[in-house]
Amino acid sequence: MKNTEVLSFGKPYEVREFPKGRLELIKIGGATVGRAIFQPGWKWSESVQPIAKTKSCEAPHFQYHISGVLKVHMDDGTEFICRPGDVSLLPSGHDAWVVGNEPAVVVDFQGMIDYAKSV
């Protein structure tokens, strides 16, 4: 590593807003990292699918869950819950939604470069 970098999601290079959520992006070490904030009532198939125009979320994710609870439904029918402190690796082909009344906040190290981006 030649250069030290310290960046903050408080000053993202790009912010994408969508119904009941937002994505903040930073570029560090040649990678794009995203912090997603999903409000209670957010569901991918209702909030992001109209932007993505795909049947399910095609972005693979490698995420650290900071707060809130997300339920994930894979296209093969598998379902699971992600809670604060969890790390999840999700392949393409899923839906997800916030469970409960607390916003779900995740930091994603893989799949946010094109997430909720109009084509």
* Top-level class of domain 15-108: mainly beta
pTM over 0.75: yes
SS3 46: helix
CB count within 10 Å of CB 106 equals 25
pLDDT at 119 over 70: no
pLDDT band at 2 (very low <50, low <70, confident <90, very high): confident
Q: What is the pLDDT of residues 20-62, one digit of tens each?
A: 999 999 999 999 999 999 999 999 999 999 999 999 999 999 9
Domain residue limits, the chain: 15-108
pLDDT band at 98 (very low <50, low <70, confident <90, very high): very high
R_g of the chain computed on alpha carbons: 14
